[in-house]
Amino acid sequence: MSPDPSRPHLRAILFDLDGTLYRQSPLKKRMLRELVTVPLRRMAPFEGYRTVRRLARFRRDREALRDLGRPDESLEELQYARPAAALGEPADRVRASVLEWMHERPLRHLAAARRAGAAELFRAARSRGLEVGVFSDYPVDAKLAALGLDAEVSLTLCATDVEVNAFKPHPAGFLAACERWGFAPGEVLYVGDRVEVDHAGATAAGMACALVGEESAGHPDHTTHDALRERLADRG
Ligand SMILES: [Mg+2]
């Protein structure tokens, strides 16, 4: 299906967040720097190493949880329980590190890493009567506000929300967004950055998908926020 936003029957654009609305590489560099300096300031030099190990395990196990599809168990719990068991630590310790280093500390750096054209695309979509939403595998609201992109958004959804409980590329989250808006998948365009996660998931849900960012360069559906905004201008 064509990811062209000038299609006349399009009613909404749904965005991925990490890597799509901001560039991840400058943020990762800042976090690595803080992982060295913050434990030293706290007089706990080994804490940095333990945190890096914990976050790496969390990320790896979370990628593997994609294979579960939509399980009976809660992904919100499993995402901490699995790495905690592997590391021999309480799940609360993994959760605390993830909250601090993946959710809270990045917030103050997000605005500087925002992708060019994202805010303009959000505004252009709204001014043309399209709904704008964000569906991510990670919690959306705090990051979206830190990016200064929350004003135009009528729907936010996370893969670990109870109504979804499925990481991409499972179609559940994409379809939950459609259901909330009352739109058919063919009326929604998804914009993401990962071929095997975003493009595959949107396609499985019957949604067109445009890809932005360096990782998907060369893909036939690769584009930019600015190019999408320019195509919106062609809507009748
Ligand atoms: Mg992403």
Tokens of 30: 């800042």
Q: What is the pLDDT along the chain (236 residues), one digit of tens a residue?
A: 788 888 889 999 999 999 999 999 999 999 988 988 888 887 777 888 899 999 999 999 999 999 999 999 999 999 999 999 999 999 999 999 999 999 999 999 999 999 999 999 999 999 999 999 999 999 999 999 999 999 999 999 999 999 999 999 999 999 999 999 999 999 999 999 999 999 999 999 999 999 999 999 999 999 999 999 999 988 75
Same domain? For 160 and 188 the reply is: yes
| Domain total in the chain | 2
Domain residues for the domain of 187 are 12-22+114-232
Ligand 1 centre to CA of 115 (Å) is 12
| CATH number of the domain where residue 183 is located | 3.40.50.1000
Same domain? For 128 and 218 the reply is: yes
Ligand 1 centre to CA of 141 (Å) is 15
Residue 51: closest CA among 89, 78, 21: 89
Position 236 scores a pLDDT of 58
| Cis amide prior to 39 (ω within 30 degrees) | no
Same domain? For 142 and 79 the reply is: no
Ligand 1 centre to CA of 192 (Å) is 6
Say what the pTM is. 0.95
Q: Nearest-5° angle of CA 26, CA 93, CA 109?
A: 20
Ligand 1 centre to CA of 169 (Å) is 11
Ligand 1 centre to CA of 212 (Å) is 9
Ligand 1 centre to CA of 24 (Å) is 9
Ligand 1 centre to CA of 46 (Å) is 31
Ligand 1 centre to CA of 214 (Å) is 11
Position 162 scores a pLDDT of 96
Same domain? For 99 and 202 the reply is: no
- pLDDT digit string (tens) for 198-210? 999 999 999 999 9
Position 8 scores a pLDDT of 86
Ligand 1 centre to CA of 194 (Å) is 6
Same domain? For 206 and 223 the reply is: yes
In the chain, the DSSP E strands lie at 12-15, 131-136, 155-158, 188-192, 208-211
Position 123 scores a pLDDT of 97
Same domain? For 119 and 182 the reply is: yes
User: 71 to each of 68, 158, 159, 162, 163, how far by Cα in Å?
Assistant: 6, 16, 12, 11, 12
Transcribe 91-106 into DSSP letters: HHHHHHHHIIIIIITT
Ligand 1 centre to CA of 76 (Å) is 18
Ligand 1 centre to CA of 22 (Å) is 9
Q: Give Cα 76 to chain centroid, integer Å.
A: 16
